Each structure stands twice: as structure tokens, then as C-alpha cells.
Structure 1
């Protein structure tokens, strides 16, 4: 959810999930756990499952915020994968947090969910969000499962890389990628980043961009290049092409034709 409210008043309610409100502008007042709270721009609202709360604007211009809900079962699954079953469910004692790290992690997850990112990217950002939740909100210490030894880690990352190279234009489920590597999803993310300096999702995007660049140089349209390289649409291809190469696909194609 991404919205702006000025006159709307939320009735007292709760969610069956961990719910995080990322306040972007203005301020919101709400009551929760017997107290009154205000979340201004830059702050984070953190509700545990079944935390009753309401909400209203705290300023004349209202407030703008994003809302992220993460179900307890998803949290359990990620924790089981990341900690070998030793992780405890997080419990946030304060419903208003100033935590730039957790906020940034949740913002990246929301952006992936709202922007139609590939399942592999969404899964990576969900894992990052859940582990950040635990490290910053769990009532006790959490032990993360140990990495595979160096040689085994490199071989596992290489198996995942080879699968991504073979099927870079497809949606490769995170569980399938982890199975091919012989690691848990969490261990694979750590191993892959250690070996190649990026997540599997980032690497897959890079492969798609390289293919798209080849297609542009060969004379196909940007729309065709986006589709054949595996991007969801031309706008995604355009945006990432500029981020990676500093020029638009059209500019690159015109330059390639003059060589």
C-alpha cells in the first residue's frame, strides 16, 4: 500500500501479520498498546501481529506513507532457512522506530512488491527484510547458520551462476536455484554475494541487460530487446539500462550503428 491521507481516520483494528508503516511526509497519530504515538517523516511504525491500533493525520496537510505486511508463516520459513531452525520470532516493543537500516530494507521490499520485480528479487528482499526484523526486533539473540566452507561455497555459487546463465530470461524460483546449488536460500545468497559481489537477482538482471544490449546493437527495437532479454516490460528495461550504462537504449543503439 502507498497512500496519502488527510481527513481519513482509521478505526481501531489489527492485522494477522507484521505490519510496517514507512512515513514519507507529514505525520500520523495513533494509539497502540495503551499509549499515544506519532510517526513523522523518516520514522517507522512497527506493529506485531494482532496489535490493535487506529490512525489519523497529525498535521493539516495529512501524511503520506507506505505499508508493508509480512505474514508470520513467511517469517518462520525464512528464519528456518536462515538459522537452521534456531531463530526466534521478532517482537517489537516500541511501535515507533527510528531505524534507518530496517526502514531502508523494508522500503526496498515494498518497491519490489509494488513494482512487479522478478520473483527472485522479491524473495531476496523478503529474506533481507525478515533477517533485519529479527536482528533489530527479536527479544533474544539470533544465530545465523554458518556459511559453507570456502571451496564448497564457491562450487555452490558457481552452480547457481550456471543455472542463471542458462535460463536468464526465465523466472527461476529461489527454491529451485538453491536446490541446484545444494544450499539453503539464505546460505546461497551469502555465498553468491561473497563470490560474485552481488545477489543472484542482481546477476540475473545483469545478464538480461547484456543480452538486451547485444540485441540493440543488432538492430532490434527496444521493445523487442526488452521482451527477448526477459524484462517484464520496456519501461523496466529502459530504467535499468540507464542505471547500468548511463545512456538510454535508443542512444546506445544509435551510437552502435555508427561504429
Structure 2
């Protein structure tokens, strides 16, 4: 399983929007993706990079994970982006359109300290190479780029996202194999809270660690859905207590509410409590 750092809400913020960068320090999001790629117009890329570098050297974002999405290496801005942020106090550098492990290695070699490479999983080739990407040295996590992926596939995802399900689950399988986080793609209609909630619930039930977001108004829903509920926390505590009581009597399993409780259930229960503690500690 990935580290228990909360990643329920992962908000994209355009690096070209100074006011948004300043407000980010007060947002209750678990992670911020400072975006130099899609959210920044070509004629603003250089200025946005300079402003972002200055801000990241001084601003305090508390426990929030700080991620910078750079431009693709094939563009005129990609190499300069990596060079500019390589030694900044950030947690991860998000690389767009990762097709294979070589794309991770190319960036990982330029980074210093604990900064990891995160991969945008948004191409057909990348999805088919998810397992090898997840094993690449320096990899730290996956973010699903469902808009770009749907465009390349030529599919039409509806509310159930069935046309993307193979890709979502392939990336999740690879991430779990490697023990790295996997963050679900964005929901575009940011004012439609009901559909956002439904998509967050679907992602959570699939096993995603959180949801990437395009608007601060989406944070509360993602934080709620991807956090253990009070009912789940209480059940986890009862499962642990029942199992410990059973093992103290020399029994290998317990029965709680008519259901068997084995060691694997207890391990899951302890992860639930650990996630709840991590969220409480983060203060979001």
C-alpha cells in the first residue's frame, strides 16, 4: 500500500495566476499541483515559471504535498521547467504523457534530495506500460489524465466511465504492485457537486487514493468521500478488539456481527485507523 500521507484532494493551480498561488496556502487540500503545462498559455510560460520558483522558495504550505507539473520534454519549455524546479523544496515533479520508464529516468536523474517523479498516465502507450513505469527508479505516484486519454482513445465516457475502466484499473493494479499512490482524474463540470460526488465514490470504491481537482469548490467533497467515515472507523476499532480478544483465547479468527474477522481484516482495519489519524494530523 502507498504511504499514509493524505491525498484525498489534489488540486491543480495554474502557475500563471498569482492570486491563486497566494490563496493556495489557506486551502484545505491535501496536495497542490502547481501547473506549468496545460493551464498556462504559451506566451506566459516563462513568466509563470519564474513566479512559481520565487513563490515556492518562500511560501509555507504546511503539511500539503507540493507537486509541480512541468511541460513535456518535447516542447521548448520542458527542459527549462525541470532545471528551474529541480532543487526546490517540493515533494514531486509531475511529468506529462509518460509512455515508459525511460521518461521517468530522464527526469529523475535531474532531481535532488527526496523529490520524486510522478507520472501523468494519459496515453495509450503509458497505460500499456503501467507496470514498468511503476517500477521505474525514482517514481513516486500516478495521476490519471482522463481527458487526454479519452481524446486519444476516441471514447465517450459517460457517468459510469466504462470506456476508461480498463485504463483506470490497469494503473491502479500497477500502483498497488509498486506501493505508490494512484490519483483519479479530474471531473470537468466543477459546479455539478452531485456528479462529482458520484465520481469520487466510484474512484474510492475502485481503490484510488484521491481525486485530482480543477477548482477549490471541489475540495470539500473529495476530502469527505476519500476519508474513512465515522462508521468505518468504529467498525475498524471493533474488528481489532474482537480479533485481539479471540487470539487471547487461543483462537485464530473472531466473529463480529455474524461475520468472520481474520488477520487480513485486522490489517485493513489498522490501515483505516492510520488513515484517519493521518488526516487528523494534517489538519485538513
What TM-score results when the alignment is normalised by the length of structure 2? Answer: 0.30
Ranked by relative contact order (alpha carbons within 8 Å, sequence separation 6 or more), the top structure is 2
Please identify the structure whose Cα radius of gyration is greater. Answer: 1
What TM-score results when the alignment is normalised by the length of structure 1? Answer: 0.32
